[in-house]
Structure 1
Amino acid sequence: MIVVLAIDALEYEKVEEYNCIHLKQRCYGKTDISEFSQPRTMVLWSSFMTGENKEEEVLSKGDKEMWNIKWDIEETFFSSFSNPVILDLPGFNYDKEVHDRSRELLKRFFEEKSQGEKKKIRDEYNKLAFDHHRIIKEEFLNALEREHDFVLGYFSVADVIGHLNFGNNTMMKLIYRDLDEIAAKAADKTDKLIVLSDHGMEAIGEFGDHSNYGFWSTSWESNLKKPRITDFRDVILALKEADIC
């Protein structure tokens, strides 16, 4: 079984700072996303699953409509597997209702002037993110117990929480420790684990915004150095072929 732990906005420097050994695995580093002028979530995960730079096509939909994109499985490398499970991946099958509510709360937070109302909005925003994280975590761990040849779990919590709380070291450490534990549990089920982010996150005051690189790691010795996110299609399919051989 090949497993991908797809973590939105997993920041390389935070993985190092918190010494998340299970996220780092045997080999790890930064991805090169310099080919993208706007390294946005939908752009990057669309490019990952298709193995092609989809920036122009995704951005042409506009800021609102791009979130309705759903690639057919035949347009992705997922179709190469006989029994894959993909959990909550943007551009494929993510929970758009949760995403839309999160974006709405984020917009309201920055428009609101009252500090009291801002706190209420932040609390609701954080609760929504953590509640959704718990659901995906349970589904992911359950999938690891079943007979799948490919499992991908997408976790948005580091990105969503980070946008409003990146300066809250206690909260961010809690998130990274939890993600590290998830990686440890995944590693118990497979020797073919990839941890991958679309981009990282950098501090903007107390808030967070996307950085210009992502994070990757593998459970085996690899010479990826600074791969592009589109390179992982071939990496994963090569692993699959090695299994067959």
Structure 2
Amino acid sequence: MTVVVFGIDALDPDLVDPDQHPNLTLETHDRIETINSSAGEPSTHELWPTIITGLSPEEHGLKLDDGVAWENPVLNFGSTVADYFLPKSLQTRIGGWLLTNTETDAFRTNVTYYEKNELSTVFDGYESKAIGIPNYVVNPNEEDREHQLRRQMGDLFARDGDAMGGHTSSDPDQFYELCMEMSMIRLARIRRALRSRQHELVFGYTSGLDLIGHVSYDRPALQGRAYEELDEFVGELVSDLDESNELVLVSDHGLQDGLHTEEAMVAATKPAMIEKISSVLDVCEAIEFELDHTDHTPTPPSDQRTKLGDSDKVREQLEDLGYL
């Protein structure tokens, strides 16, 4: 039995409808509270560490400084110098330029950060698989297609402080296709991990919906199409579930008119799993409760199992042949 969690960045409770999006709303869904960063709006950089630890950004320490993840390991040296010599506003502009014009990834904090700071996560103590969680990098040398595309978008996704969504795209339609490809890749990895039957918990993430939302503030139909397609993709994951599996969808915030909103959402195939989730701070505990109170022991595929009766017969044959 496996608990599957799919983190969908910017899945907005106001933009889903059970009739139009049955796979994004599942058996039950609800809006939940999120947390604003120092920049005045919810931050992906801060919120996924919160979701997997149940701790506020102040407690887990991965905080945004005026809109830029300046403490990222890639920028550590620059951060140390900048704290002494550069005002915060200039740090933000430099960080924004680096994230737009280099291959720097803002959300690549290594899992060792949690270990060194004695921070417990939802993955601890379980047979678990983490797929692309922002700021929870199990293997810094491993990348999938979503990581590669995020780093190589160039002017397809450029930071622009004057644009309504804070970003512009030289070709929104091409950008849309890349973002949907990113989402499909992550869902494929989640489905493969579920089908392997090796894990109690599979927790994957995609940023595709968030990225599309930031550049479609003047093209709402594009964002609407992303919800429709993502609903179909999640439907394929739902078809992989059996009666022993549970699926939870969770977002870190919503996104409308190109800007992050201050409500996130959860959905689940098992209503009891999310009954006590009212905030992003509650997600970790709800998942752990399910794992602790229901048997989720991984079981290998049926063609790798040996029935007890067959095992006895094999043993008898080996004894007859003198091997035992």
Instruction: State the TM-score, normalized to the length of structure 1.
Output: 0.81
Q: Is the 8 A contact 1:109 1:122 kept in 2?
A: no
Q: Structure 1 residues 109, 130: CA separation in 2 closer, same or farther (over 3 Å shift)?
A: farther
Q: C-alpha displacement at 1:225, in angstroms? A: 6.4
Q: Is 1:200 the equivalent of 2:244?
A: no
The structure carrying a bigger helix percent of its residues is 1
Alignment partner, residue 157 of structure 1: 208
Structure 2 CA distance for partners of 1:218 and 1:158, relative to 1, 3 Å: same
Larger Rg, first or second structure (1 or 2): 2
Which digits, 9 at most, give the CA deviation of each residue in 1:9-55, with x for residues without a partner?
00111112872112112221111114655410011101011111125
* CA distance, structure 2, for counterparts of residue 104 and residue 137 of structure 1: 26
Deviates more, 1:148-157 or 1:102-111: 102-111
SS of residue paired to 2:293? helix
CA positional deviation for 1:199? 0.3
RMSD: 3.0
Corresponding residue of 1:5: 6
Relative to 1, partners in 2 of residues 1:163 and 1:240: Cα closer, same or farther, differing over 3 Å?
same
Alignment gaps of 5+ in structure 1: 113-117
Shift of 1:97: 4.6
* Structure 2 gap segments, 5+ residues each: 73-105, 138-142, 297-324
| Among 93, 114, 126, the residue aligned to 1:81 | 126
Moved more, 156-165 or 8-17: 8-17
The separation in 2 between residues aligned to 1:152 and 1:228, in whole angstroms, is: 18
Name the SS of the counterpart of 1:43 in structure 2: helix
Separation (CA, whole Å) in 1 of partners of 2:46 and 2:153: 19
Does structure 1 residue 51 correspond to structure 2 residue 51?
no
How far apart are 1:243 and its partner, in Å? 1.6
Cα 1:79–1:104 change in 2 (3 A) is farther
**Is the alpha carbon distance of 1:121 and 1:130 closer, same or farther for their aligned partners in structure 2, counting shifts above 3 Å?**
same
Change (3 A) 1:111 1:23: closer
User: Does 2:227 align with 1:214?
Assistant: no
Distance 1:240 1:51 in 2: 16
- In the TM superposition, residue 103 of structure 1 has moved relative to its aligned partner by 7.5
Structure 1 residue 238 corresponds to structure 2 residue 289: yes
| Number of residues of Structure 1 aligned to a counterpart in Structure 2 | 235
Q: In 1, distance between residues paired with 2:43 and 2:64?
A: 13
Provide the residue aligned with 1:144 in structure 2: 194
Q: Distance in 2 between the 1:119 and 1:103 partners? A: 9
Question: CA distance change for structure 1 residues 231 and 26 in 2, over 3 Å: closer, same or farther?
Answer: same
Equivalent residues of 1:43, 1:55 under 8 A apart: no
Contact 1:5 1:183 in 2 (8 A): no
- The answer (yes or no) to whether the contact 2:34–2:279 under 8 Å persists in 1 is yes
- Counterpart code for 1:44: L
How far apart, in 2, do the equivalents of 1:140 and 1:210 lie? 26
Query: Does the C-alpha gap of structure 1 residues 193 and 134 become closer, same or farther in structure 2, counting only changes over 3 Å?
Result: closer
Structure having greater relative contact order (Cα 8 Å, sep ≥ 6):
1
Post-superposition Cα deviations, 1:113-166, rounded to whole Å, max 9, x if no partner, equal xxxxx7745455334323322322322222221112111121211100110014
Q: Tell me which amino acid in the other structure corresponds to 1:41.
A: T
Q: In structure 2, the residue corresponding to 1:16 is in which secondary structure? A: coil
Which residue in 2 is equivalent to 1:115?
none
